[in-house]
Structures are given as structure tokens and as C-alpha cells.
Amino acid sequence: ETGVTQTPRHLVMGMTNKKSLKCEQHLGHNAMYWYKQSAKKPLELMFVYSLEERVENNSVPSRFSPECPNSSHLFLHLHTLQPEDSALYLCASSQADRNLNTEAFFGQGTRLTVV
Amino acid sequence: GNSVTQMEGPVTLSEEAFLTINCTYTATGYPSLFWYVQYPGEGLQLLLKATKADDKGSNKGFEATYRKETTSFHLEKGSVQVSDSAVYFCALSDADTGRRALTFGSGTRLQVQP
């Protein structure tokens, strides 16, 4: 059982569809993250959840809606996306305690194509 | 704020060549430093880390030393293989800023030819 699991691995959706990406971590961490990775662009941090509370939202369009029902699960709800939203979406988790620098563990990502 | 700067790629090497990928950082506190690797179609995997000055992280023949005086964390490998072809990301974690997420560099693509 891998530490961070993302489903689905691949998703093709139309611009009028609604879909959700799922992430589950089995590491007992207290923080989870969504990143967007587009071709030829740096890794973009989208959302940060700590103890199930959203603590960071980096100017992400409202067509992306995160949800963190508990410390092990993170969702990214998608609706009315644009073709430029096609990218690899990566979930990560970490143990984010005060004054403790720790690494993040990543899932394998969901390759999203918007048509 | 914190930032990480990596050398631009792609870096193209022949098998068994020596590899260096440069990474420098700016941080307000005392960060931990990381190298991640991303193989095609995959997520990022932690390659190695160092948590304080002069620490050397190592894994799978890769090494990087935390140099506080030059604010650098260069990745090196003595003899690369075709299977090392991937994108390499340098990153830092600085809990003193209260920011939980890592700060990543832009990534350096390595292509190793047989």
C-alpha cells in the first residue's frame, strides 16, 4: 500500500462536466496539498490543508474547489474547466509541525485532459 | 520570502558521465533542503535531504551537501545511467516562517544517452 494514493490516474473531461479527483494518505500526516504541474511551467501550489482546515489558497479559480473531510482524504472538485486547465495534478502530504521542517510525500498524480 | 533557484535544463550527458545540478536558495530561517526526482508520468519522489549546515544527503549514488555559507545544495552523481533520466527538483522547508508547504525550484531535466 503506497503512502499517498491518487485516483483516477487519468481523466478526460469536457468543459461542461463535473468531476472530482481523490487523494488518500496512509502516513498519519496532518497536512495535505494540491499542486498543478503544467508543461514547461514551474510546480504551482494550489491549496494547503492543515488539520482539515484550508490554510492556503493561491489565487486558484473558483472552478477548482477543494474538500478535506478528514486528515487522510483530500478531494479536488472540478467544474466548467478550460482546456488550459489540462495538467498533472499532484497531491502531497506531510507532518507539518511548528518549528519542524519535514519533507512532503507525493502521489503519482492525475493526468487531466480538458476537451 | 523563500526561493529556490536551479540551473536551467535540459542537461544532456552520456552514460557514466559526472553530473552536477546546481541549486541555490534564499530563506529567512534555517531550512531543511531536499532533492526530489520525477520520472516520466509519475509524481515526485524524495531523493535525498539535509536538515542542517554541512549535512550531506545521499541516496542511489546521488549526493548533495548543505552549504550555508554559499546557500547552496548542489546535486552530484559520479556516474549517471540511462535510468537516471528524469526531472530533478530542489526544494526547501522553512517551518520558522509558519509556511507548511515546500518551496520548489523550477526543475532540471536530465537526459542520459547510452
- Give the pairing of strands A73-79 and A18-25: antiparallel
What confidence tens digit (pLDDT) does each residue in B51-80 have? Answer: 999 999 999 999 999 999 999 999 999 999
Position of cell 474538500?
A67
Most confidently predicted of A93-107, B8-22, B89-103? B8-22
Note whether B31 contacts A: Cβ–Cβ < 8 A: yes
Note whether A60 contacts B: Cβ–Cβ < 8 A: no
Question: Per the structure block, which three cell numbers stand in for B24?
Answer: 541555490
Task: Give chain B positions within 8 Å (CB) of A98.
Answer: 95, 98
Note whether B40 contacts A: Cβ–Cβ < 8 A: no
Q: In which band, very low, low, confident or very high, does the pLDDT at A53 lie, cut at 50, 70 and 90? A: confident
What's the rounded mean pLDDT across residues A13-17? 91
**CB within 8 A of B91, min separation 6: which ones?**
B4, B33, B34, B35, B36, B102, B103, B104, B105
Q: In which band, very low, low, confident or very high, does the pLDDT at B98 lie, cut at 50, 70 and 90? A: low
Nearest CA in chain B to A49: B100
Interchain pair B44, A55: CB under 8 A = no
Q: In which band, very low, low, confident or very high, does the pLDDT at A78 lie, cut at 50, 70 and 90? A: very high
What confidence tens digit (pLDDT) does each residue in B25-44 have? Answer: 999 878 999 999 999 888 99
Cα–Cα distance between A71 and A62 in angstroms, integer? 23
| B100, B106, B107 member nearest A50 (Cβ) | B100
